[in-house]
Amino acid sequence: MRLLIDVGNTALKAALCQQGEIKPCDVSALPWRQINELVYACVGKSEQLHHILSQADSYCVPCFEAKVSKELGRLTCAYQQFENLGIDRWLALIAAFTLWPQQDCIVIDTGTATTIDVLSAQGQHLGGWILPGLDLMTHSLTQNTQRVFDDVNAEFSNQLGVNTPNGLKNGALVATIGAIEQAKLHTTAKKPQLIFAGGYAKLLQRHFCGAIYDPHLVMKGLNQWYELSKN
């Protein structure tokens, strides 16, 4: 079995992969005796990751860290300084290119930040944007203004706000939706495939018809990175 670890700036996610099947797992109860390799990607700092790597060491499980490269197969990174691209973005692009070949894709990963990346049908990463995640947008306003306040029970919607929490939350949502609409202007395809992953992916996906929600997109990309890189 292969253990996959994705460390973001908010949360560490783990999954076990067997015969291509990816299942989220709890890192506090890992079946170390059945794990024969650990593949991980890290954009945030994580004491938890260091603990897991030392456990792997004690069980003699080989560990491999995913890194961004200029090219991987027919996929090409838009960044000149490719090492500066977030590895989670690169992994999501690997998964999108593998799962939706020959299609222009727009990959949206909503985590601490919301990242939007445009990928051509030929596997050319055209670039993208980094936005504050929905929670970061609302928290930055409530913490830096006197009179803007949130309501945990208020839903995110694209309706006009008729009270402060609506104005706050709906503003964060429509700003993110607007950025995704802008990304569509950068693909030549009439109907690019929109693929959503991350904490608020399900919420955002509902605003785009034909869009895909894949909670395991980054994990699939991590697994494919290893398969493509180990040979």
Ligand X SMILES: Nc1ncnc2c1ncn2[C@@H]1O[C@H](COP(=O)(O)OP(=O)(O)O)[C@@H](O)[C@H]1O
Ligand Y SMILES: CC(C)(COP(=O)(O)O)[C@@H](O)C(=O)NCCC(=O)O
The contact set with ligand Y (CB under 6 A) reads 8-9, 43-44, 84-86, 88-89, 111-113, 115, 130
Binding site as annotated, residues for substrate: 79, 86-89, 164
User: Smallest distance from the beta carbon of 176 to ligand X, in angstroms?
Assistant: 12
Which residue's Cβ has the minimum distance to ligand Y? 86
Q: What angle do CA 179, 183, 188 make, to 5 degrees?
A: 160
Q: Rounded to whole angstroms, how far apart are CA atoms 97 and 95?
A: 6
Binding site as annotated, residues: 6-13, 79, 86-89, 109, 112, 164
Given the residues 26, 57, 88, 117, the one annotated as active site: 88
Question: Where along the sequence are the contacts to K ion (CB under 5 A)?
Answer: 8, 88, 111
Residue 86 binds which of K ion, ligand X, ligand Y, none (CB < 5-8 A, kind-dependent): ligand Y
C-beta of residue 215 within 8 angstroms of C-beta of residue 196: no
Token pair, residue 66, equals: 């995913």
Binding site as annotated, residues for K(+): 109
Q: Rounded to whole angstroms, how far apart are CA atoms 203 and 42?
A: 25
Does 88 participate in catalysis according to the annotation? Answer: yes
Residue 103 binds which of ligand X, K ion, ligand Y, none (CB < 5-8 A, kind-dependent): none
CA-wise closest residue to 180 among 108, 111, 110, 132: 108
Residue 189 binds which of ligand X, K ion, ligand Y, none (CB < 5-8 A, kind-dependent): none
Task: Name 126's Cβ contacts closer than 8 Å, sequence gap at least 6.
Answer: 78, 118, 119, 120, 186, 187
Q: Rounded to whole angstroms, how far apart are CA atoms 74 and 68?
A: 14
Question: Where along the sequence are the contacts to ligand X (CB under 6 A)?
Answer: 8-11, 111-112, 133, 135, 198-200
Please give the positions annotated as active site.
88
